Structure 1
Amino acid sequence: MAETYDVVIIGGGPGGYNCAIRAGQLGLKVACIEMRGKLGGTCLNVGCIPSKALLHTSHLFSAAQNEFATLGIKTGKVELDLAQMMGQKDEAVEGLTKGVEFLLKKNKAEYIKGKGKILGKGKVEVALADGGTRVLETKNIVIATGSEPATLPGIEIDEERVVSNTGALSLKAVPKKLVLIGAGVIGLEMGSVWARLGSEVTVVEYLDRILPPADAEVAKEAERTFKKQGLAFKLGTKVTGIEKTKTKLKVAVEPAKGGAAETLDADIVIVAIGRKPYTEGLGLEAVGGKTDKRGVIEVTDHFKVADGVWAVGDCIPGPMLAHKAEDDGTAVAELIAGKAGHVNYDLVPSVVYTNPEIAWVGKNEEELKAAGVEYVKGKFPFMANSRARTNHETVGFVKILAEKGTDKILGAHMIGVGVGEMIAEVCVAMEFGASSEDIARTSHAHPTLSEAVRQAAMGVEGWTMQM
């Protein structure tokens, strides 16, 4: 006989496992299906977590080579042990995946290894990883299948020489020449890692700027900084093909608006042009579910696909970010349990974990201008921040945008060391409908980098105090 559950979740990434944990906490009988063999999804296994491990260690390696001596620290010759670097990355991932599995068990959520498919209302079939199938009966189905790397037509990703973010996290040697297709978040993070470790990195971007979702002023500052770090950019350029020779890759590129073609030599090519929802073969048609041409599942504003069917995370509209998926999953579990559940997508922060970091939340200047919203901005450079000067980490600035007349904060945009942590302060302020003056009149410890946020808020009304 089929087993009966209150909730069956297809996908064990941030959206799925948070939904499972919260549903278990609320006393629901829940099962979470994951085909990867490990919980955590792309984020934990081949995305957010391993990339941060490499970003951190590659930054330490670069600092030891290039910065320690200026601080009076003599190290002698610094050598790279790439195998050990990859090993500690894998160790971190393994520990965290086991931690998620423990949390599911602790909250009485059953973890099923296999691939789930919807058979109809209240029925999910699982092709088990160790063979055979199971049919689960449930009052609610939650789709949390996440996303996968987007691909370019005519370019085959072999995860050896032409790689996605997955392969880029596990290269066995530092490539001498690396071509990176895409100047978005994933691309810039991976490019930063390998540039620090010694690669000659060329970034090819179809648009005429890097980081399309970011505030333009922040993106320009980031581009200048990355160029100083050794990254080369070919903006407004498209890749038309990759020829594989025995020892090299030849990447054919040409101007996006037309013009003379050229060829770039590479040892490794990373394709990082974004992600697409993983929704094929899910059985959506069995419950009347629909997707758009990109595969994004159509949902109501409360995550509903159909009666008793819900969807969360990267496979539905909204930013493709792990923390957004976590919030979606938690909200759906609460809705199923009869509680209120809502996620404010306008206040989901974005962070790029390069060095310096880049972070933003809310509207940027371009969006406000396009919408005809009058605003005032306050901006403060880290060069004028005491802690940043002391630490020799002065690149970047904090910018606060507030509505003219009401002073309500509309957005915040930052580039600098540690801004991925600092953005949370503005998220909380905006969630409570704060004005820039609310931040400006809130005491911040001195000397801290976070004082730059306060000073930028002061700048909205023109009373910034330097240093």
Structure 2
Amino acid sequence: MVVGDASLDIDTLVIGAGPGGYVAAIRAAQLGQKVLIVDKSELGGVCLNRGCIPSKALISAAHQYENALHAEFFGVSVGDVKVDFTKTQEFKESVVKKMTSGVSALLKGNKVEIFNGECMFINQNEARVFNDHESPRYRFKNCIIATGSRPIELKVFPFGGRILSSTEALNLPEVPKSMIVIGGGYIGAELGQMYSKFGTKVTIIEGMDTVLPGFDKDMTSLVAKNMKKTNIEIFTGAKAESAEQTDKDVTVKFSVNGESKEVTAEYLLVTVGRRPNTDGELGLDLIEVEMDERGFVKVDHQGRTNHKHIFAIGDIVAGPALAHKASYEGKVAAEAISGMPSVVDYKCIPAVVFTDPECASVGYSEQQAKDKGHKVKTGKFSYAANGRAVSLNGAEGFVKIVADEESGLVLGAQIVGIEASNLIAELGLAIEMGATLEDIALTIHAHPTLGELVAEAAEVVLGHPIHTMAPRR
């Protein structure tokens, strides 16, 4: 408890304890800064508590259920397979608790002061933090704002009752018989497919011409194909117009190419993007932090706002709302405060979707590379020609590498298939270190592994593949 209204002095104030904020706080403390981190909710932010981690726990459980249902493919008989969704939710919560406890231990181990409560700027160098018990005032030399984002709520589809955001969808007490998903982006696709694997009849309504817009269509077509296998009905180029709910279900009216349609289900999940948490009582307007028309904070190549000692990272700045992007930016900001020459470079930030099959990309797509002025060459290697993939019953998918034709430098990669989320890291490293196709092809990859897919794809681009026919040029 602070007596009177005296200010406590700290080096760095971090607002928000998500994957951007807590990483920034730890890195700043490692560099000798006296750090206070403030969050009104749980350590770990949305990602660990209501996003990345709980969703992947449920997706993993759904995969286990599906594998058990089809174990006879491997000659394994498992009898009557059932889902106890209460236990599934308990598993999910145990994963979340383990991860958030780990964050707490890391912060304390690095001597970061933690305050659970709200934060409000008083001026450009002072802020008050408060909860039901105390309201100390801090004077800071530097500040890193990492307040994250929240689901966009549409006026015609307000959250409540049977209309859910991703947060509520992750906490349903039982597997619903049916669900409508508005928005076929990464959140809607992941959660819709997860519930469909548990037996839910899912309908996806997407405004663009494909699910997972932003990924190559040859990748998303495989995801759409698998979605239909689990009885997901997909409407693309569709416009959702209204919803009417009762105590038992919700009916959505929408149109496709001018034709009116409607569908009824137990729940409606709305996943049309996320909004930066830059409004509210934080007081960014009071200290005149510059923002764009969408509420994103304007920053430079080190995360600095228009005030040189105030930084912003993660979902509140431009770019994809990715946890690993926020963590990366948090490290850069903490290092910049300590005088290091660190700057952000987004060319190697991977994008991953945990659908079935998984999709992952890093660097440039073929078209992006051409738009940047490169003369490119590309090559694909199929999962179907990889022994490990076939033995895992995961022969669908491919690895595609985009390279500069003259130098052989790796410019980008796209992977769709099992473990794409893990395989993409090697290609991110290749781009980061300026590796060529030969560097990858000459690296001996263990056999039989999925990692061989990457080396084989490089050999395809080079024109001398071993385990597939060389493409005609």
TM-score, normalization by structure 2: 0.95
Q: Which residue of 1 aligns with 2:10?
A: 5
Amino acid at match of 2:59: L
1:373-415 alpha-carbon deviations (Å, 9 max, x no partner):
3211110010010111122210101000111212111110001
Indicate whether 1:40 and 2:35 are aligned: no
Which amino acid letter does the alignment assign opposite residue 265 of structure 2? A
Say whether the 8 Å CA contact 2:85–2:174 is kept in structure 1: yes
User: Is the contact between residue 318 and residue 345 of structure 1 (CA under 8 Å) also seen in structure 2?
Assistant: no
Asked whether the equivalents of residues 359 and 423 of structure 1 are also in contact (C-alpha less than 8 Å), the reply is yes
Instruction: Report Cα offsets for 1:152-206 as digits up to 9, x if no partner.
Output: 2321111x41111101101112111111111111111101110011101111100
Counterpart mapping for 1:446-465 below 5 A: 446-465=447-466
Cα separation, 1, equivalents of 2:263 and 2:108: 51
Q: 1:126 aligns with which of 125, 129, 133?
A: 129
Q: Which runs of 4+ in 1 moved over 3 A?
A: 368-373
Structure 1 residue 369 displacement after superposition: 4.3
**Deviations 1:301-333 (CA, angstroms, capped at 9, x unpaired):** 211111311111110112211011111111111
Contact 2:241 2:255 in 1 (8 A): yes
AA in 2 matched with 1:79: K
Aligned pairs for 1:303-342 within 5 A? 303-305=303-305, 306-342=307-343
The CA deviation string for residues 72-126 of structure 1, in whole angstroms up to 9 with x for no partner, is 1111101110000001100110111111111111111000001112221111111
2:77 is equivalent to residue 78 of structure 1 = no
Q: Is contact 1:252–1:263 with CA below 8 Å preserved after alignment?
A: yes
Instruction: Name the structure 2 match of 1:422.
Output: 423
Alpha-carbon shift at residue 286 of structure 1 (Å):
2.8
- The residue type equivalent to 2:339 in the other structure is G
Tell me, in whole angstroms, the C-alpha distance in 2 between the residues paired with 1:462 and 1:226.
34
Picking from 55, 69, 74, the partner of 2:72 is: 69
1:365: how far off? Answer: 2.5
Matched, 1:102 2:101: no
Unaligned runs of 5+ in 2: 1-5, 469-473
Q: Which structure 2 residues correspond to residues 229-308 of structure 1 after superposition, within 5 A?
A: 229-255=230-256, 258-281=257-280, 282-305=282-305, 306-308=307-309
In the aligned structure 2, how far is the partner of 1:307 from the partner of 1:403?
38
Matched-pair contact (CA < 8 Å) for 2:440–2:458: yes
Q: CA deviation at 1:236?
A: 0.2
* Match of residue 114 from structure 1: 117
Once the 2 structures are TM-superposed, how far is the Cα of residue 372 of structure 1 from its aligned partner? 5.0
User: Given that residues 361 and 413 in structure 2 are in contact (C-alpha distance below 8 angstroms), is that contact kept between their aligned partners in structure 1?
Assistant: yes
TM-score normalized by the length of structure 1 = 0.96
Q: Which runs of 5+ in 1 are unaligned?
A: none
- The amino acid of 2:319's aligned partner reads G
Q: Give the letter for the 2:115 counterpart.
A: I
AA partner of residue 80 (structure 1)? V
Q: Please identify, of 18-27 and 131-140, the stretch whose mean Cα deviation from structure 2 is larger.
A: 131-140
Is contact 2:363-2:412 (8 Å) kept? yes
Following superposition, the deviation at residue 368 of structure 1 comes to 3.2
Letter aligned with residue 263 of structure 2: L
Please show how residues 177-196 of structure 1 align to structure 2 within 5 Å.
Answer: 177-196=178-197
- Identify the residue that residue 137 of structure 1 maps to in structure 2: 139
In structure 2, what is the Cα distance between the partners aligned to 1:204 and 1:120?
45
Counterpart position of 2:471 = none
Q: Give me the whole-angstrom Cα distance separating, in 1, the residues matched to 2:90 and 2:294.
A: 36
DSSP 3-state at the match of 2:136 = strand
Q: Percent identity?
A: 38
Question: Structure 2 CA distance, aligned partners of 1:237 and 1:358?
Answer: 23
Structure 1 residue 28 corresponds to structure 2 residue 33:
yes
Q: Secondary structure at the match of 1:175?
A: coil
Cα shift readout 1:432-452 (whole Å, capped 9, x = no counterpart)? 111122111111001101111
Q: Distance in 2 between matches of 1:241 and 1:374?
A: 47
Please tell me the residue identity of whatever aligns with 1:29: K
Which residue matches 2:434?
Answer: 433
